[in-house]
Amino acid sequence: MTTALITGATAGLGAAFAERLARDGHHLVLLARDGERLRKRAADLHDRHGVEVGVLAADLATEEGISALEQRAGDRTRPVDLLVNNAGFGIKGRFLEASMADELTMLRVHCEAVLRSTAAAAEAMRERGRGGIVNVASVAGFLPRGTYGASKAWITQFTQGAAVDLAGTGVRLMALCPGFVRTEFHQRAGMNTGNIPRWMWLDAPRVVDASLADLARGRTLSIPDPRYKALMGLTRLAPPGVLARATAGTGRKYGPK
């Protein structure tokens, strides 16, 4: 039976990944900052699905937290067959309104943790000749959205580049780029989402189902909804200045996810 390691696993897309994978019979390792919430989530998944669920309480904004993730992702004695890098957060406010400390923390969680855990997991998977990695980015990475969008763009480009480098090894890598998903993400960042049209919101379990189907097909990029695929197609045709004006004036530094 295979094992999946999921970061940011107690809420939102992370919780949806955990639910789907446990239902499919995969053992789990769940990582998040809140140890008590992790244990409750693990017990619930074990009781309902009969799978083994380990927990790893770690803060990916710290060196200790990233090291713990890195070591578990690359553990040869307890191999990880699927790594889902989902942990992330948003910052309210435009550039220069948010603190530099928050900006740097975002880069550490979104970029450094993803880089190091992907490298650790991919190396171990390459030795076994199989494995999968899903790095959760966002369609915000295709838009001019400050540090959040830039970090998500980095995840997408890094993941697709690594997928090319590891082609033929049995290791599959995919960047997942959802739109607005109904999770705790925006509430935790103190963001007002009242102006977002209802049709733009996605359901977390459906996003997970679509992403796992895309991974099975060998895709390196998943935009799991026809509406967002169409919107992202339009962004490639629009001049950068038009995109900047279209996304300016909201007073927020965040994108869909």
Residue type, 104: L
Name beta bridge partners: 84.
Answer: 6, 134
Q: Is 148 tagged catalytic?
A: yes
Name beta bridge partners: 32.
Answer: 57
87-98 b/e with 16+ CB inside 10 Å = b? bbbbbbbeeeeb
Helix 204-216 × helix 12-23 angle, to 10°: 60
* Catalytic residue, candidates 142, 148, 158, 228: 148
Local structure of residue 83 (DSSP, 8 states): E
Q: Which two tokens stand for residue 13?
A: 């897309």
Task: For residue 54, count CB atoms less than 10 angstroms from its CB and return exposed for 0-12, middle for 13-18, buried for 19 or more.
Answer: middle
Q: Are 253 and 92 in contact (CB under 8 A)?
A: yes
Residue type, 122: A
Q: Are 156 and 141 in contact (CB under 8 A)?
A: yes
Q: Are 30 and 38 in contact (CB under 8 A)?
A: yes
Terminal Cα distance for the chain, rounded: 30
Q: Is 113 left (phi over 0), alpha (psi -120 to 50) or beta?
A: alpha
Q: What is the set of active-site residues?
A: 148
